[in-house]
Amino acid sequence: MGPESSARSTVAFLLLLVIAAPPLVGKPGRRAQQGTATRPQAATITAYPDSAEGLKSLLQDWFAAIKAGDTVKSSQYLESFAIPNHQEWFVKTFGAAEGARLEAKYTDLQAKPLEWLKKSAEREVKAERFSVEASILEKSTSTQMRVPQALLAAMVQPTPVYYTSSHKDANDKSSFFLGNFVYVDGGFRYLDLQVMQALSTAPPMRVMIGGNVQAARLTNRVQPVYPREARDQKIQGTVMLHVIIGTDGTVQQIQVVSGPPLLVPAAIDAVKEWRYGPTLLNGQPVEVDTQINVAFSLRQ
């Protein structure tokens, strides 16, 4: 075989190899595109303004995602409530000493506060309490709640704290506490009460509970002694008392709201002896702000 015939044979052999070989581009690329198409798209969260209305809109949108069963978006909302660069933020906002205390508690709790917040939100959605209210606490005088008061007073760099609650609609007079938030690095972040409680100046945590709910925790009830003068004058009625119950279940403070004057001392003397089972918030005993009604009837 001559050189020219040998060259033609070599070229023909190489052409056969090219024809028989599987394509290197095409199907694998199409498979990759198909895989990308089936991957769920990440949800995006709208930027919300630093205002009470902005936080209200954010929480209502989060509730809507939970109600719709959109776990991707609802999880993104939840994750966005974590404080970014929290060590730097606590020290900058509260100074070195108090900032370190708050940061240590925030780090110790890890993801627990967000888990508690998630459960609260799911509870509100299940109860159809979609109407959210948000109020701004800018100074310690802006609120009578003692823990937020202490937090605001401890700030070396004043920062508004947002208090949020929810209810069913405008006709629903009951409200349920959701949580406290601060605006950090362009977003609202959740600040749990247990973190606030780490302040050296923080008072015992206190929650407001309706009288009927708190009555179920009563373990020792002393009946009031009907004053003879009131009985002789045929005076009866209900004495309403605003009380603070300590973490140990004892009645710490009593303030008269209303009631027949002759019956008030007897009601106070009796309520001082009442005892309640401890009220827990996230596993920790808290004080309770509530109302007690003491009824006096001449048929007693």
User: Tell me, what amino acid is at 164?
Assistant: T
Q: At residue 207, does pLDDT exceed 60?
A: yes
pLDDT at 46: 78
Instruction: Find how far residue 49's CA is from the centre of its chain.
Output: 20
Contacts of residue 51, defined as CB under 8 A and 6 or more positions apart, other chains included, come to 136
Domains and CATH numbers, the chain: 52-203 (no CATH), 208-296 (3.30.2420.10)
pLDDT tens digits, 276-297: 998 887 677 888 999 999 999 9
Q: At residue 7, does pLDDT exceed 80?
A: no
Kindly state the average pLDDT of the residues 227-238. 94
Is residue 249 within 8 Å of 220, Cβ to Cβ? no
- Stretch among 171-175, 181-185, 277-281 having the lowest mean pLDDT: 171-175
Residue 220 pairs with which residues in a beta bridge?
A: 275
Place of tokens 């001082």: 272
pLDDT tens digits, 114-155: 999 999 999 999 989 889 999 999 988 888 788 899 999 999
pLDDT at 208: 82
Averaged confidence pLDDT in the chain: 85
